[in-house]
Amino acid sequence: DIVLTQSPDSLAVSLGERATINCKSSQSVFYSSNNKNYLAWYQQKAGQPPKLLIYWASTRESGVPDRFSASGSGTDFTLTISSLQAEDVAIYYCQQYYSTPLCSFGQGTKLEIK
Amino acid sequence: EVQLVESGGALVQPGRSLRLSCAASGFTFDNYAMHWVRQAPGKGLEWVSGINWNGGTIAYADSVKGRFTISRDSAKNSLYLEMNSLRPEDTAFYYCAKDASGLHLFYFDYWGQGTLVTVSS
C-alpha cells in the first residue's frame, strides 16, 4: 500500500506570506509510460466537502486562483500558496491514484492565519 | 452545474445494514467513474470504493471489502453504497465523488455535501 505523509500537520502563516505544504509518498507515483505523477491536492474548508485544487501533481483545476501552485515528482511533492488570503484557511490533503483502482490520502495539513 | 446529492445516512446499530444513494445531475453520468469517500468526524479523508463508467472496474478499501457493495444505475443517474455488518468504526460522513475519468479510477473533481452514518447501540 502507498502511504502519503504530509508535513507539517499544521501551519500558521501571516496574510500575504507564502505557505508551503509537503507530501511524501512511500513509493514513487510517477508512471514513466506517460510521464505523469499520479497525485492530486484538495482543499477542505470547515463544514464543506473537499475541493480539487491540483491534479497530475502540477495542473491547476479550472477556477483555482493562480496563487496556488504545486510541484514535485516521484515521491516528494509540494503545494504552495504564494500569498496567503484569509479564505485559504482550510485543511489540505494530497491523494495518490498511482495504485489505481485503489487510492489513498495524506493525513491532512491544517493551515491557519498567524 | 454538476450536482451530487447523497441520502440515506442514519443512526444504525452495529451489525445492521444501510444503503446510501447519490443522485447525480449536470453531467453525463454514464461517462464517468464514481466513488465513495468517508470522513470520520474531526478526522481525515478515507477512500471507500470506486466504480468506473460501465461497472467493469470496481474496487474497495480493505477496511470495507466483503461488507460494502458499490453500484450504479444509469437510468436513474444514481450511485449506491450497500453497507452490511456495520461497525462503530464505520461512523463517518460519506461523500459521493465524481471522477475526472471514465475508464479509470483517478481523482475527484466534484464532491457532494455528504451524508452522516452513525453506528452505535
Q: What is the pLDDT of residues A11-23, one digit of tens each?
A: 999 999 999 999 9
CA distance A96 to chain B (A): 8
CA distance B75 to chain A (A): 25
Q: Taking residues B44-54, what's their average pLDDT? A: 97
Query: What is the predicted pLDDT for the residue at B97?
Result: 98
How many percent of chain A have pLDDT more than 90?
A: 100
Of B59, B100, B112, the CB nearest to A102: B59
d(CA B66, CA B85): 9
For residue B57, name the pLDDT band (cuts at 50, 70, 90): very high
For residue A110, name the pLDDT band (cuts at 50, 70, 90): very high
pLDDT in tens, B30-40: 999 999 999 99
Query: What is the predicted pLDDT for the residue at A77?
Result: 98
Q: Taking residues A64-80, what's their average pLDDT? A: 98
Q: Residue B112: which of B33, B44, B38 has the closest Cα?
A: B38
Burial status of residue B41 (CB atoms within 10 A of its CB: 0-12, 13-18, 19 or more) = exposed
Chain-chain contact of A49 with B111 (C-beta, under 8 angstroms)? yes
d(CA B62, CA B16): 19
Of A40, A49, A55, the CB nearest to B95: A49
Q: Mean pLDDT across chain A, nearest whole number?
A: 98
Query: What residues in B contact A40, CB-CB < 8 Å?
Result: 107-108
Question: A21, A54, A100: which to substitute to probe chain B, counting the most B Cβ within 10 Å?
Answer: A100
Q: Residue B39: which of B98, B80, B95, B112 has the closest Cα?
A: B95
Q: Residue A4: which of A101, A100, A97, A112 has the closest Cα?
A: A97
For residue B116, name the pLDDT band (cuts at 50, 70, 90): very high
Query: What is the predicted pLDDT for the residue at B74?
Result: 95
Please check whether residue A100 is in contact with residue B33, taking contact to mean a CB–CB distance below 8 angstroms.
no
CA distance B25 to chain A (A): 17
Amino acid letter for position A85: Q
Query: What is the predicted pLDDT for the residue at A45?
Result: 98
For residue B70, name the pLDDT band (cuts at 50, 70, 90): very high
